[in-house]
Each structure stands twice: as C-alpha cells, then as structure tokens.
Amino acid sequence: MQPTLRDPNPPLTRSVEDYLKAIYHLSSQGGFAATSDIAAMLEVAPPSVSGMVKRLSETGLTSTCHTAACSSPRRGGARPSG
C-alpha cells in the first residue's frame, strides 16, 4: 500500500498564508519559529499550530519542521508578502 502524499501545490488559503507569514516573521528574528510563539502570534491553540506545521512540512512550504519549531519558507518556494 502506497502512503498518501499531499498535493505538492496546495491552494494558499488565508490561513496557510497567515501561518507562513508568522513563521517567516518569527524565524527572521531568531532563526526558527517555536510552536508556542506561532500560537501566540496568531491567537490559536498550540495543537492547531502543530497540525498546520505538519501540513506545511508535508507539502514542502517550510524547509524544516520539528516537534516544536519551524524554519522559514524554503528558497524558491512561496514567500509571504508584507
């Protein structure tokens, strides 16, 4: 049985854009964005951040994601504006 892979070019919903902007902003200040910092910035629960971070990692919109931290969007990938 083949594992299910996510669409490599998922639609960039407003929610996805918000997460990417938060990750970009936080990682540009300290090299990574902690789940708790993303949650505080977006005013969402940490488990919600964990789920989205996993999704972003699976689709390749972030270069690396660990249990509690994410790096900014990969080079050549989608970059948040503003």
Cβ burial 21-49 (10 Å sphere, 16+ → b, else e): bbbbbbbeeeebbbbebbbebbebeeeeb
List, in order of start, the domains of the chain with CATH numbers.
14-70 (1.10.10.10)
Interval 24-34: pLDDT, tens: 999 888 788 88
- Does pLDDT of 40 surpass 90? yes
- Does pLDDT of 49 surpass 50? yes
**What is the spatial distance between Cα 16 and Cα 8, in angstroms, rounded to a whole number?**
14
- pLDDT (average), residues 25-52: 91
First to last CA, the chain: 43
pLDDT on residue 79: 44
